[in-house]
């Protein structure tokens, strides 16, 4: 996983709301990227939770954390108020436009994934509007999505995905803290 070497996301502000827009160049066509973003068998390789429910605009969905996510981040999930015995959060699909736009609410976060054809590959534009800060604050959330998108790229390239090194996580959180303007 490249982690800190990838270009950092761009911090967005809308009043009190803070978000980050990430861009990744992927060597895969939009249909393959779409599958990786929306299908359970692919989500498991890069996203901390499965998406349960019908895939259509307006659908109420649930996000069920993978068992390995609960094992890895049990303390953080518990601090964020997730019931470790039933690790689900609510959500809703806002836009379902295959294979271009997948936009959803995950608890109090707003995620938008836009796939743009780019020659034989794609550009993935991911905009995340953060909700209530987690245990590691907004910088930790920004770093978390950064690593998720790196894991997505690795997964698409059939590269092994490992848990990020704690020192790399700390450095990325520090860099996002500087961008966001929080300690």
Residues 112-130: pLDDT tens digits? 999 999 999 999 999 999 9
Provide the domain limits for residue 148.
3-180
- Beta strand spans in the chain (E): 10-14, 17-26, 49-52, 60-65, 88-97, 101-106, 109-118, 121-129
When pLDDT is cut at 50, 70 and 90, the band that residue 53 belongs to is: very high
pTM of the full structure: 0.92
The CATH number linked to 18 is 3.30.530.20
Question: Could you give the 3-state DSSP secondary structure of residue 183?
Answer: coil
pLDDT digits (tens, 9 = 90+) for 69-103: 888 888 888 888 888 888 999 999 999 999 999 99
Sole residue written with tokens 């895939």: 55
Strand ranges across the sheet with 60-65: 10-14, 17-26, 121-129, 109-118, 101-106, 88-97, 60-65, 49-52
- Say if residue 41's pLDDT is above 90: yes
- Cβ atoms of residues 64 and 88 within 8 Å: yes
Number of domains present in the structure of the chain: 1
Cα–Cα distances (Å) from 155 to 106, 115, 162, in that order, read 22, 16, 11
């Amino acid at each position: 996983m490249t982690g800190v070497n990838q270009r950092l996301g761009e911090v967005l502000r809308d009043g009190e709301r803070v978000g980050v827009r990430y861009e990744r160049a992927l060597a895969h066509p939009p249909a393959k990227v779409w599958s990786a973003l929306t299908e359970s068998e692919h989500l498991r390789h890069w996203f901390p939770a499965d998406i349960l429910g019908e895939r259509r605009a307006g659908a109420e969905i649930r996000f069920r954390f993978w068992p390995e996510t609960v094992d890895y981040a049990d303390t953080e999930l518990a601090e964020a108020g997730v019931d470790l015995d039933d690790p689900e959060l609510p959500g809703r699909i806002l836009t379902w436009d295959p294979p271009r736009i997948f936009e959803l609410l995950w608890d109090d976060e707003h995620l938008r994934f836009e796939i743009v054809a780019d020659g034989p590959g794609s550009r993935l534009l991911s905009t995340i509007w953060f909700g209530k800060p987690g245990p590691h604050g907004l910088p930790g959330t920004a770093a978390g999505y950064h690593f998720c998108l790196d894991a997505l790229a690795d997964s698409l390239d059939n590269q092994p995905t490992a848990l990020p090194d704690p020192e790399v996580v700390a450095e990325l959180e520090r860099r996002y803290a500087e961008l966001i303007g929080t300690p």
